[in-house]
Amino acid sequence: MNAAHDAIPFATLEQAAEWYAVLRSGKVADEERRRWAAWLAADDANRQAWARVESIGQGVSFAKDAPEAASSALVAANQLRQRRKMLKTLTLAAITGGLGWQLSRQDELRATIAGLMATHRTGVGESNRLRLADGTQLWLNTHTAVDDRYDAKQRQLVLHHGEILIETHTDAQQPSRPFVVHSRQGSMRALGTRFEVRQFDDHTRLGVSEGRVEVMPLGASSPHIIEAGQEVRFSRHAISPADRLPPARQAWTHGMLIAQDLPLAQFLAELSRYRHGHLGCDPAVADLRVVGGFPLRDTDQALAMLEAALPVRAHAVMPWWVTVKPWQNYRTFRFPFSRVARKAE
| pLDDT tens per residue across span 79-128 | 444 444 445 444 444 444 444 445 555 666 666 676 678 999 999 999 99
- In the prediction, which pLDDT does 117 show? 82
Amino acid 208 reads: V
121-244 matches 255-343 in fold: no
| pLDDT tens per residue across span 295-330 | 999 999 999 999 999 999 999 989 999 999 998 744
Other CB atoms closer than 10 Å to residue 41's CB: what's the count? 10
For residues 321 and 61, the answer to whether their CB atoms sit within 8 Å is no
Backbone angles phi, psi at 290, to 5 degrees: -115, 135
Coarse DSSP helix, strand, coil percentages of the chain, rounded to the nearest 5 percent:
35, 35, 30
Which residue ranges make up each domain of the chain?
A: 3-116, 121-244, 255-343
The DSSP letter of residue 154 is: -
Confidence of residue 5 (pLDDT cuts 50, 70, 90): low
Domain 255-343 sits in CATH at: 3.55.50.30
| pLDDT tens per residue across span 256-285 | 999 999 999 999 999 999 999 999 999 999
- In the prediction, which pLDDT does 336 show? 34
pTM over 0.85: no
| pLDDT tens per residue across span 151-191 | 988 999 999 999 999 999 988 777 789 999 999 999 999 99
Q: Widest CA span of the chain, in angstroms? A: 73
Domain 121-244 sits in CATH at: 2.60.120.1440
